[in-house]
Structure 1
């Protein structure tokens, strides 16, 4: 759910209304996207899936310029497609050099332990 809080666009969850991200604009025109919590991505099988605010005119930026005698003009730009949330899913790999655990069965009280932690 999107809403405008003063000059700040707020994106909130549909179920609990928790704040997910904000979009604001500084006086110099610099746009800031601040993500506060995870964004649900459409493809849950892709750890690099991205989503944006691509619907027409969902988030727009309007600039106004005024000359010395008070004449002004405005231009509006759809910036939603430029506000992108990339999923950065977890990944793990191994070294494929697992230690060998060996137990000598002649003396059953002697066990073997090794750490596999270095493989990750």
Structure 2
């Protein structure tokens, strides 16, 4: 099982993602509605991968990741960002600053699990 920490302030997006990931039975998913909640729960959950919304109130996905990276046990967890602002320059910037992948919104629920598994497998090969 792949332990995935999903952070998104939009309840509909969380629900669609959860249904898509549970369909294949390969993920244990912890969902959080804010960066602050994710920071509070991340260490205890011990995720294999982060799936972070970029644009959230109070704390962006990038800021959330920055806070979680301060925890030694979370320092090398691959991070996937989801964003509706899928400009090439923004995607490139995220990838250059530590994102393992960037998924554009609206995303394809049927390919989401494969996209996440590819990131996890690539990270495992790199270690």
**TM-score higher than 0.5 here?**
no
Higher relative strand content: 1
The structure where helix makes up a greater share of residues is: 2
TM-score tier after normalising by the smaller chain length: under 0.3
Q: Which has the higher contact order (CA 8 A, sep 6+)?
A: 2
